[in-house]
Amino acid sequence: MELALAVLVTIVTAATPLLLAATGELVVERSGVLNLGVEGMMVMGAVGGFLAAYLSGNPFLGMLAGVLFGMGMALLFGFLSLTLATNQYATGLALTIIGLGLASLIGEPFVGRAGIRPPHLDIPGLSDIPFVGPLLFGRDPFFYISLALVAGVVWFLFYTKPGLTLRAVGDNHQSAHALGIKVLRYRYLAVLFGGACAGLAGAQLSLVYTPQWSENMTAGRGWIALALVVFASWRPMRVLVGAYLFGAVSIGQLHAQALGIPIPSQALTALPYAATIVVLVIISQNRRLTMINTPASLGKSFVPDR
């Protein structure tokens, strides 16, 4: 039981940044914007969160800084791709490259220094329940924020008028504009929300997952988050399931190495990314399901009539 609990706890910790980043990107793509810069926003959130927590001694300031750093990168993306109507694919890739380089420059003096973990929730009585208590009622704030975000996004997208409007913008921005909807306003807000989630996911990596700063510590998780959105067919609850599945794959390869399974360590390390490719190939076979759920205006620039 103790071993099973330890494995599940590590899976939850590994899945949380994927869930945070993918949930934010799902909202962005529902608005018709494809931001391939999730990796860059995450790594900037990681360095910003670590520096703020390390210099202030307050991990909650680190969480806030992660959000702000992610939103700053998202604002840059929004200005280029929405205001200037640049190509969203190229702009997102450039954002990732800029983020990785800038984070390495900012964090270079702090490489290897120990970070400051946020306190875990401890509810008397509930936290003491065997197995379930430590797993569900003794986790860090990022875990509960990620679950609340999924629930909030489900409610917003499918049970509110602004959520319906956002989905309409993503499906046909020209028709939405003709109806008087402020397309760019909705898209800017969605992009900033996605940046905040990606920055928070990065802060989780440097404050909880591995409480220190190291170069390129996101290790491709931003790309996995992008794949998760497609895997989930742009449905928030499926993102939740997918994040924990990918988290299990990531942690499974570590335990396989610890058990001495005779498979090259390089192959085990590549397993989460190989699983991403396999899942995308399988999903692409069902073109009908993909076409039904894909926002029709995804990746298309919008220039309002003047």
Distance of CA 213 to the CA centre of its chain: 18
pTM: 0.91
**CA nearest to 19, candidates 142, 163, 189:** 142
- Which residue intervals of 205-295 are DSSP H helices? 221-231, 236-258, 265-269, 271-285, 287-293
- What is the DSSP-derived secondary structure letter of residue 109? G
Q: State residue 261's pLDDT score.
A: 67
What does the block give as tokens for 73? 């990168």
Residue 220 to residue 256: CA distance in whole angstroms:
21
Q: State residue 256's pLDDT score.
A: 67
Q: State residue 255's pLDDT score.
A: 66
What does the block give as tokens for 208? 């909880």
Q: State residue 247's pLDDT score.
A: 84
Average pLDDT per block of 10 residues along the chain, 306 residues long = 74 91 96 95 96 94 96 96 93 95 93 86 72 76 94 96 95 91 95 97 93 89 91 89 85 68 68 73 68 83 78
Q: State residue 233's pLDDT score.
A: 85
Residue 208 to residue 142: CA distance in whole angstroms:
9
Residue 213, classed as helix, strand or coil, is strand
| CATH topology classification for 2-293 | ABC transporter involved in vitamin B12 uptake, BtuC (1.10.3470)
Residue 204 to residue 167: CA distance in whole angstroms:
29
Distance of CA 280 to the CA centre of its chain: 18
**CA nearest to 20, candidates 36, 41, 48:** 41
Q: Fill in the amino acid letter for 188.
A: Y
Which single residue is written with the structure tokens 């499974």? 252
Q: State residue 36's pLDDT score.
A: 95
Which single residue is written with the structure tokens 């983020």? 99
Torsion sign, CA atoms 199, 203, 204, 206: positive
Residue 57, classed as helix, strand or coil, is coil
**What are 141-161's pLDDT values in tens digits?**
999 999 999 999 999 999 999
Q: Which residues pair with 114 in a beta bridge?
A: 212
How do the domains of the chain map onto residue ranges? 2-293
Q: State residue 153's pLDDT score.
A: 96
**CA nearest to 193, candidates 19, 39, 48, 23:** 23
**What are 94-139's pLDDT values in tens digits?**
999 999 999 999 999 998 888 889 988 877 776 767 767 777 777 8
